[in-house]
Structure 1
Amino acid sequence: MEDAESIAKKPRFSSGFPADFFSDPSRIVPIVGNGSDDEEEEKQQPAAAPVASTPLDLEWERFQREVVNAPDANETKKEAYENATVFAEPVLASEIPEGFPAPETQSDRRSRSKRQKELDDRELIMDRLLEEERAQEEADMKVVSMKNRLDLLRQKREAAKAAKASSVPA
């Protein structure tokens, strides 16, 4: 029990420092809170800001306001996003995106199939002409070989007649 009474008699400091620890009142550590989780209580009891007298103190206070205690960037972005109004004029989009080929129409398909049929017919005609030309060349070669054979036979006959005529004494 004596321990409880002696603890109760000792002065308690919320900041952990005795009241007369700082000799300069402008350097007093502000009381950060009384341990409660209620933000409303903390907002109702703002910490007493020391009065700045030197330019260095003024600069330090400005630094704390602008940098240390600056509003959260995400919150300001969120507010700006929520308050933003987006408006754009409607624009007709083309049915065919850039870089894509145009879709084929019925007439395009017909004309393409007609061109393909004409091309196939021309190829068929050219194949027939080449085949006929080859056949003609083969026939010409046969004719030439037959003429050569006929000439050879004529020469043999003439040679045989000449040999017969020279062997018969007159």
Structure 2
Amino acid sequence: MTTSFLKAEETVTFAQQFPNVHTAEVIAGEFGKNVNDVMDQSVLSCTEFDLEQKGLADVTGIDVFTNLQYLNLSSNQITSILESIGKLSDLQILNLLDNQLTNVPESIGNLTGLIGIDLSNNHLSVLPLSLIKLQSINEYLNLSNQTISLLPKDFITQSFTLTSSITAMGEVVPHLLAEQVIV
């Protein structure tokens, strides 16, 4: 699945940018618009987006908001995040708490300005190798309530403070159960 990218000279409606009808309706509504309205510069320059508990299952197209610094997608039914999330280069806080995620894309490592990410209460069993690139994370990395069975080997060199314990299998369990996690 490819994501359409809105260019400055294009006029694209919410319905065209977001293939999921419900997602288009929710996002347009956040700006007081309807799905057939054009996404103008006032919409595209958005830096904070709180989409908590909006019943979203698919956020394909969200990468059009390239100025985002804060993105809250918590408490939805999102099952996957596309590789295009890595294009949100200004993102500092990403909240994906309490969704249905089973994996995190490798492109998460492109978010080098990220200082906090909450992935708790999902269905993650594997973390991407690119997560170790996120050395900027200094506020929080919340991975609580997961069944992580595989961590990247290089993850051991990183140090993160977790807000809760992680259920994990394998040799890394003692490290994961410490408050200061060196994974």
Global fold match (TM > 0.5): no
* Higher RCO (Cα < 8 Å, 6 or more apart): 2
Structure with larger Rg: 1
TM-score w.r.t. the length of structure 1 is: 0.23
